[in-house]
Structure 1
Amino acid sequence: MHPVFVIVLAQLFGTSLWFSANSAADALMLAWAIGPAAIGTLTNAVQAGFIVGTLGFALSGLADRFPASRIFAVCALLGAAANASFALAAGGLQSAIVLRFLVGLCLAGIYPLGMKLVVTWVPERAGAALAWLVGMLTLGTALPHGIRFLGGGLPWQWPILASSLLALLAAALILRLGDGPQLQRRHGAPPLRLGRVVHAFSIPAFRASALGYFGHQWELYAFWTLVPVLLAGSGIASAGSLALAGWSFAVVGIGALGCVCGGYWSRHIGSGRVAASALAGSALCCALFPLSTGWPPGLTLLVLLFWGFCVVADSPHFSALSARACPPEIVGSALAFQNAIGFAITMLSIQLGTRWVGDWGGQVAWLLLPGPLFGLLGLWPLWRRPAA
């Protein structure tokens, strides 16, 4: 199999751990007597673990000093174990938060290291390849909803345990593949200093890409977390129904198509302009969705599907632009550090969104609107010209 295909398939399977608990949100709220804000806290536990993990990789230099394939495989194995423990052993919110934090910690060795693996195999096609990679992350995020929909009336633990099995398969695939011939680690390299990574932000192209990414992150994960609530509140599907799981899979999963289309489009207009177009589309949906009260459910669903298409289509291009802009010997650590900041931003928007959605309803979309607008402003130097 082609290396990029193996990596993106492993990314699909490994990142199914991310939102596995969210696929059972309605069952958890019923079983543990918790509300949407508590589901936001569970999601943020994953984000917090991911931030700690990415910072650890960035500050220690592990992402550039050890084979990316081994780090990926070990983290996928440990993540599968923590995720299965959540399904089988968590008896309430306190233990669940700890286990979801551990899942996030392990995801720090799956998502950023998957990006680095792509660059080690096909650096000349990083933009298009990363589009497939993030597309698979998006589909992986949606996958537990799809598994639950297909599982019918099976217990809520089923999609979570299925995600753990898929993560084990991801580990096996990447161990067999190994690292690519490009950007090999340097033997005997000194420990990476924080200042070396932070210095990347003084590079104008890296800074513009990072600012665009930060605005994008304010919206992305909060939107993915809120999708089932927005669907139920719009009357498209009733809370707790299998139809809700199916439409949640569709709205989140269509982002994979957005990533692939964006990757193809980037060959003609460059990654900067693709990212800007996706941010503009997301901003439009954020502005329009609160006005959809009274619309036919089918029209509201189209807006959500278009939103799901746009909301993540820009993500791989921020990674490609940042990877191109910074020195190759710190690319893994710089991407990890950028991810850590971006995911810290997601924690605030997720917590506010899940806390306020009960009172605001569909108007919570306006809370997300500043993200893509800020992203467009920060990305301006890279999309005003036809640079890749």
Structure 2
Amino acid sequence: MKQNQWTALGLIGTAVLFSLSLWFSATVIGPNLKLVWGLTPTTEAWLSASVPLGFVIGALISAYFGLPDRFNTRKLFAISAFIGAILNLLLIFVNIASIGILIRVLTGLTLAGVYPPAVKLIAQWFPKQRGLATGTLIAALTLGSSLPHLISLIVVVEEAFLVLFISSTLALISAFIVGMVLVDAPTPSTKTHFSMKTMKRVLNNKPVMLANYGYFGHMWELYAMWTWLPAFLTASFLTYSSSLDLGLSVFVSFLAIGIAGGLGSIIGGILADKIGRSNLTIISLSVSSVCALLIGFTFGSNIWLTITLALIWGFFVIADSAQFSVAVSEFAEVEYLGTALTFQMCIGFLITIITINLIPWLQMWVGWEWAFVVLSIGPILGIVAMVKFKVYEKTQESQLDYSGYSS
């Protein structure tokens, strides 16, 4: 059965959207798990950080053994999504925090077999015109990550564990879509392997490392914002008026993370090709850092200002995400591109574990008014890196223009 690339993009995007619902499926029912599992502030934070930890472990294992190159990428995605769905479903029967956190780590490990292979599938189907395709993929990831918030709106509190069942079902559907409906791309992508032997070349490549530093600053903020914005909104809205429906904070969280974030991913990808990757990342990092600095000061006061800042933050916090990887791919030699991208992803997700754990402790010590301020540090440092990266980007553009003129 033949498929065109846009049909394939629709199938891959839908599969990523459904499977990434596993990421925050336990987080959105945190209050219920807190009662059932007897979560402490420490174990609650580690529950949120467990999936990124598993993702890093899975990405390193996959890269070290070259799983996407040794096995069919499409089938690897399908199997990973299937296993992730089963693990997520098992949480319904768990009543011990340590076992639940372990299962979440394993779920993160399976998602390392979903998202990176999805990126490779896009590369296979789109040897050209990857800007919009990559932006669409990131939009699917963003919307999928926020999907549990939408699911929780239609599930009554007493049946909150239905969120786990529904997200697992969606992941099973994604496994079917990629495994049975999607066909293999007509042309395979170039194989890029991970190798510790080439790490020195990655570390010595200045533009690649500057793009990495920008990405690390971006990741310092991103997943901590995605994880704790819903809790902030709930507390803020209840402080503003105890009579407000709690569903409002959940709905705004879905709009900010999923809808605004999805639009940011697609629009950011389109603009990056027009104004340059460094310019797009600098703008996105600047706006998101300002939102991190300001949103806490709207706590419990002007609800519409809080919502507006949350939507703006949701748009810009993810708008630049894909561009850091694209920047690395443009400056790294093909023989160590796989190593460079694996290094970027693993360090980035390790950083998220720090800030995901940091926010609840800051909230206890200084309150929600100041808790998010620390997240602005990452984007600010990222801006410094991308300003320096811009010099290399301009040099490369000048060389390409000169080459085109000479020919």
Structure 1: distance between partners of 2:86 and 2:115: 17
Is the CA contact (8 Å cut-off) linking 1:55 and 1:340 kept in structure 2?
yes
Structure 1: distance between partners of 2:339 and 2:186: 19
- Structure 2 counterpart of 1:103, from 85, 101, 107: 107
Moved more, 199-208 or 370-379: 199-208
**Shift of residue 165, structure 1, vs aligned partner:** 1.0
Is the CA contact (8 Å cut-off) linking 2:123 and 2:189 kept in structure 1?
no
1:246-261 to structure 2, matched below 5 A, reads 246-253=251-258, 254-261=260-267
1:143-158 to structure 2, matched below 5 A, reads 143-153=147-157, 155-158=159-162
- Output the amino acid matched with 2:213: L
- Output the amino acid matched with 1:241: L
Structure 1: distance between partners of 2:65 and 2:245: 44
Structure 1: distance between partners of 2:298 and 2:61: 43
- Output the amino acid matched with 1:173: I
- Output the amino acid matched with 2:17: L
In the alignment, which residue of structure 2 is the partner of 1:38? 43
Structure 1: distance between partners of 2:13 and 2:204: 31
**Shift of residue 19, structure 1, vs aligned partner:** 0.6
- Structure 2 counterpart of 1:234, from 233, 236, 245: 236
- Structure 1 counterpart of 2:354, from 341, 348, 351: 348
Is the CA contact (8 Å cut-off) linking 1:127 and 1:320 kept in structure 2?
no
The alignment partner of 2:159 has SS state of coil
- Output the amino acid matched with 1:30: L
Structure 1: distance between partners of 2:230 and 2:41: 10
Q: TM-score, normalised by structure 1?
A: 0.91
Is the CA contact (8 Å cut-off) linking 2:24 and 2:148 kept in structure 1?
yes
Q: 2:307 aligned with 1:301, yes or no? A: yes
In the alignment, which residue of structure 2 is the partner of 1:200? 202
Structure 2: distance between partners of 1:177 and 1:324: 29
Q: 2:379 aligned with 1:372, yes or no? A: yes
Moved more, 19-28 or 230-239: 230-239
Q: 2:370 aligned with 1:363, yes or no? A: yes
- Deviation sequence 1:319-359 (CA, Å, 0-9, x none): 22223333345544532332111111111111111222123
Structure 1: distance between partners of 2:121 and 2:207: 22
Is the CA contact (8 Å cut-off) linking 1:27 and 1:240 kept in structure 2?
no
- Deviation sequence 1:244-277 (CA, Å, 0-9, x none): 3222212211211111111221231122221221
Relative to structure 1, the CA distance from residue 121 to residue 341 in structure 2 (aligned partners, 3 Å threshold; closer, same or farther) is: same
Aligned-pair Cα RMSD in Å:
2.4
Is the CA contact (8 Å cut-off) linking 1:276 and 1:383 kept in structure 2?
no
- Deviation sequence 1:168-218 (CA, Å, 0-9, x none): 1111222232443445466xx9x8531225533333332222111111111
Is the CA contact (8 Å cut-off) linking 2:124 and 2:185 kept in structure 1?
yes
Q: 2:277 aligned with 1:271, yes or no? A: yes
Structure 2: distance between partners of 1:339 and 1:11: 17
Relative to structure 1, the CA distance from residue 293 to residue 154 in structure 2 (aligned partners, 3 Å threshold; closer, same or farther) is: closer
Structure 1: distance between partners of 2:335 and 2:283: 31
Moved more, 245-254 or 319-328: 319-328
- Deviation sequence 1:73-105 (CA, Å, 0-9, x none): 11111111111111x221121111110011000
- Output the amino acid matched with 2:168: S
Relative to structure 1, the CA distance from residue 40 to residue 243 in structure 2 (aligned partners, 3 Å threshold; closer, same or farther) is: same
Moved more, 313-322 or 91-100: 313-322
Which structure 2 residue ranges, 5 or more long, are not aligned? 1-5, 398-407
- Output the amino acid matched with 1:67: N
**Shift of residue 294, structure 1, vs aligned partner:** 6.2
- Output the amino acid matched with 2:131: G
Structure 1: distance between partners of 2:57 and 2:200: 17
In the alignment, which residue of structure 1 is the partner of 2:62? 57
Is the CA contact (8 Å cut-off) linking 2:77 and 2:175 kept in structure 1?
yes
Q: 2:76 aligned with 1:71, yes or no? A: yes
In the alignment, which residue of structure 1 is the partner of 2:117? 113
The alignment partner of 1:123 has SS state of coil
In the alignment, which residue of structure 2 is the partner of 1:2? 7
Is the CA contact (8 Å cut-off) linking 1:66 and 1:185 kept in structure 2?
no
**Shift of residue 233, structure 1, vs aligned partner:** 2.7
Structure 2: distance between partners of 1:93 and 1:14: 24
The alignment partner of 1:112 has SS state of helix
- Deviation sequence 1:278-297 (CA, Å, 0-9, x none): 11111111121233246411
- Structure 2 counterpart of 1:90, from 84, 94, 104: 94
- Output the amino acid matched with 1:124: K
In the alignment, which residue of structure 1 is the partner of 2:221? 219
Is the CA contact (8 Å cut-off) linking 2:237 and 2:300 kept in structure 1?
no
- Deviation sequence 1:120-149 (CA, Å, 0-9, x none): 211322232211111111111110010010
Is the CA contact (8 Å cut-off) linking 2:194 and 2:338 kept in structure 1?
no
Name the structure, 1 or 2, with higher relative contact order (CA <8 Å, separation 6+).
1
In the alignment, which residue of structure 1 is the partner of 2:405? none
Relative to structure 1, the CA distance from residue 326 to residue 123 in structure 2 (aligned partners, 3 Å threshold; closer, same or farther) is: farther
